[in-house]
């Protein structure tokens, strides 16, 4: 029986399995198999980001997975941040390695050693590269499909180095704009926050993060952009000599997006019937479903018309023996944006009955009025509108801490969720870290405001009882 989306854990397991997106029964915790349909969706996401970064002048490369310990541990803050999450290779076969190797948790250390060899003067800059690669992090907490995993597959990461801070900061802003364009194209609503120092990327001067709200009410980080300053360039000696005899170091940025994007697409757009995919990443954009009469009446006429439409518009037709209702069920599950239903009436009149996945009801149009791109755009716009409307219903502020808590939890202490901007300092908000997570400050805000939510760092249900004791004084 198909679970409703309100039963989110059961629903997501059902969709991942039945739509052949992923299988997490692999015998290594936190590692999953991407199944055919899921792989096609992921490739669509990768292609979208590739196109955006290519237009921004960021070129694609590929670096090795294994990083020597001496290279990996060169940046102090980085190694402190990642030491507990790093897989290490100590043996090759039965032979102990002379130097342990790290499986990359991310690629800064692997890449920046090469940067240091390449840069001898400011004319060797900028360096602007990206790669799509698997990264590995020993996540000791409870793993979750597509959210908290140990092998992050097809991680899309970019790394850039510049001669001046102004150039680096301009690229930093462009990277944020690239991510805005990326998520807007997928209809994923978000907030942009400057992470607190304690939560910024290890070795970064500043981290800016994109967060959205899941159906559970929890926030999910879906993308980050890091201003590294000169921390890594000094550690890896990405430098050159000045005419005055001094040493100048490059300024750097990096940014990355993981398979959490797939989770956000599925979770935010999906409904009780299954996936609802944006056209940019939908493996099937449209499907034609012929509808015959009882006992196959009018089959020849309807099938002939369906095949004509298929050839004319380049859209596949489903001629399997399943009932139309079974086919509706399947293509709703797969999130196909446009469904074309063809029966005897449509064949006689030269019309098509259209069902858009994001909309209720059907529309009938003449054959010569059919425009797939227009229909896909309508479906995408409706997906985006609905997602934005739900998101805005879970947003608020600036407001008092008390008001935010009253929105985040009901009167019985049950979690409702959302992301709220509150009048408080980070220190004040962190007093209640059992109940809320401090996402940081709204980007562009100079006020004494912090952004709070309950993120996927919180794995277990908490109660609200302490909010009612007399000592609770909200800022």
- What would the pLDDT profile of 269-328 be if each residue is shown by its tens digit? 999 999 999 999 999 999 999 999 887 788 999 999 999 999 999 999 999 999 999 999
Say if residue 23 is in the same domain as residue 161.
yes
Give percent above pLDDT 70 in the chain. 95
Say if residue 20 is in the same domain as residue 154.
yes
Say if residue 428 is in the same domain as residue 353.
no
pLDDT bin (cut points 50, 70, 90) of residue 382 is very high
| Within a domain: 280 | no
* Tokens 């006020």 sit on residue: 447
Say if residue 329 is in the same domain as residue 355.
yes
pLDDT bin (cut points 50, 70, 90) of residue 411 is confident
The residue among 129, 84, 86, 130 whose CA lies nearest residue 105 is 86
Q: Structurally, how many domains does the chain consist of?
A: 3
- What would the pLDDT profile of 131-160 be if each residue is shown by its tens digit? 999 999 997 677 888 998 999 999 999 999
What pTM value is reported for the model?
A: 0.93
Greatest C-alpha distance within the chain: 91
The answer to whether 264 and 222 are in contact (CB under 8 A) is yes
Residue 277 has phi, psi (to 5 degrees) of -100, 140
Say if residue 48 is in the same domain as residue 104.
yes
Average pLDDT, the chain: 92
Say if residue 173 is in the same domain as residue 315.
no
Say if residue 122 is in the same domain as residue 216.
yes
| Within a domain: 475 | no
The Cα angle at residue 103 between residues 71 and 91, in degrees rounded to 5: 90
Say if residue 104 is in the same domain as residue 223.
yes
Say if residue 385 is in the same domain as residue 402.
no
Per-residue model confidence (pLDDT) at position 448: 87
| Within a domain: 278 | no
Query: Would the pLDDT of 251 be above 50?
Result: yes
The Cα angle at residue 245 between residues 244 and 249, in degrees rounded to 5: 100
Say if residue 54 is in the same domain as residue 194.
yes
Given 359, 390, 421, the domain boundary residue is: 390
Domain span including residue 322? 286-390
Say if residue 147 is in the same domain as residue 260.
yes
Task: Give mean pLDDT, residues 81-102.
Answer: 91
């Amino acid at each position: 029986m198909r679970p409703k989306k309100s039963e989110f854990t059961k629903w997501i397991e059902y969709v991942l399995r039945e739509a052949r997106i992923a299988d997490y029964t692999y015998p290594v915790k936190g590692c999953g198999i991407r199944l055919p349909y899921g792989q096609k969706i992921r490739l669509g996401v990768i292609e979208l980001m590739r196109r955006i970064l290519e237009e921004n002048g960021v070129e694609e490369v590929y670096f090795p997975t294994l990083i020597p310990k001496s290279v990996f541990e060169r940046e102090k803050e980085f190694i402190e941040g990642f030491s507990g999450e790093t897989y290490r290779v100590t043996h090759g076969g039965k032979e102990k390695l002379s130097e342990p190797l790290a499986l990359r948790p991310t690629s800064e250390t692997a890449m920046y050693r090469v940067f240091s060899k390449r840069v001898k003067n400011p004319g060797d800059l900028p360096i602007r590269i990206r790669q799509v690669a698997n990264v590995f992090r020993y996540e000791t907490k409870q793993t979750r499909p597509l959210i908290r995993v140990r092998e992050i597959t097809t991680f899309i990461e970019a790394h850039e180095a510049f001669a001046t801070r102004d150039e680096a900061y301009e690229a930093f802003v462009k990277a944020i704009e690239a991510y805005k364009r990326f998520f807007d194209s997928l209809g994923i609503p978000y907030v942009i926050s400057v992470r607190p120092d304690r939560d910024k990327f290890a070795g970064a001067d500043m981290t800016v993060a994109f967060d959205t709200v899941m159906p559970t009410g929890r926030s999910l980080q879906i993308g980050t952009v890091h201003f590294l300053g000169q921390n890594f360039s000094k550690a890896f000696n990405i430098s050159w000599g000045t005419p005055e005899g001094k040493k100048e170091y490059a300024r750097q940025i990096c940014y990355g997006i993981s398979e959490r994007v797939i989770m956000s697409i599925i979770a935010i757009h999906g409904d009780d019937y299954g996936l609802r995919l944006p056209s940019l990443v939908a493996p099937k954009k449209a499907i034609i479903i012929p509808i015959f009469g009882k006992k196959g009446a009018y089959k020849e006429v309807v099938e002939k018309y369906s095949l004509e439409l298929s050839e004319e518009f380049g859209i596949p037709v489903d001629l399997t023996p399943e009932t139309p209702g079974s086919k509706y069920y399947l293509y709703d599950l797969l999130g196909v944006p446009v469904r074309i239903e063809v029966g005897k009436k449509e064949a006689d009149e030269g019309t098509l009955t259209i069902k858009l996945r994001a909309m209720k009801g059907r529309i009938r149009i003449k054959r010569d009025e059919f425009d797939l791109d227009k229909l896909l755009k309508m479906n995408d716009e409706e997906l985006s509108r609905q997602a934005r409307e739900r998101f805005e219903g879970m947003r608020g502020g600036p407001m008092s801490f008390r008001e935010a808590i009253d929105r985040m939890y009901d009167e019985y202490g049950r979690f409702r969720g959302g992301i709220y901007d509150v009048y408080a300092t980070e220190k004040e908000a962190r007093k209640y870290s059992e109940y809320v997570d401090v996402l940081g400050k709204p980007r562009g805000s100079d006020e004494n405001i912090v952004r709070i939510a309950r993120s996927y760092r919180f794995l277990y249900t908490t109660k609200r009882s302490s909010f009612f004791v007399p000592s609770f004084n909200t800022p």
